[in-house]
Amino acid sequence: VGIIDRVGGLIKPEGFSEHEIKTLFNNRVNNTLVADNLIPFAEASEKVWNVGAEIFVPAASSRLVQQSEVDQMIKGGLEVIACGANVPFADKEIFFGSIMEHADNHVAVIPDFIANCGMARVFAYLMQRNVEMSDDAIFSDASSVIKAALQAVYATSTKKTNLSSTAFEIALKQLV
């Protein structure tokens, strides 16, 4: 329902079609959003948090999302945050600061080390011996790793909140 980057944004309460998303992706210039109906950043930034969305994917940069923005989205019906950027919340802490904890207590927050593990997993896959080198095989491998991580979280807790705290607990136990 909303896409925003550093130069502007698009707001479409009814959502974007797959074709529109592909067109936006293909038309970007140096990773910058390009569209005829682009609204200025200040206007997009003011509107995007209140437009009402069930899923939020902060994927642009680190340490941008403020608690007030999370609260606005929760009031608008937010259910899931899939962290596409590393450390998307504007917390001082490197891992699990107060904003992330607040979000995790109110909605399902899929942490960055799960939702954004794609390239790390691709590199791990490519370093294996005798693996199939195809787009399908690589995407299937990354998807299966993400699925296994989410299943481990669900096996530990079936709650719709506190996914990130549960995932961190699991990860820390695996490290120790």
Question: For 4-23, what is each residue's pLDDT tens digit?
Answer: 998 999 999 999 999 999 99
Note the pLDDT of residue 106. 99
- Average pLDDT of the chain is 94
pTM exceeds 0.75 for this model: yes
Question: For 74-123, what is each residue's pLDDT tens digit?
Answer: 999 999 999 988 899 999 988 889 999 999 999 999 999 999 888 888 99
Residue 17, Cβ neighbours under 10 Å: how many?
10
Domains belonging to the chain, first-starting first, are 1-48 (no CATH), 52-175 (3.40.50.720)
According to DSSP, the β-strands at 80-82 and 108-110 are parallel
Question: For 135-149, what is each residue's pLDDT tens digit?
Answer: 999 999 999 999 999
Per-residue buried b or exposed e for 56-74, using 16+ beta carbons within 10 Å of the residue's own CB: bbbebeeeebebebbebbb
Cβ-in-10-Å burial (0-12, 13-18, 19+) of 171 comes to middle
Note the pLDDT of residue 60. 80
Task: Tell me which H or E stretch contains 81.
Answer: strand 80-82
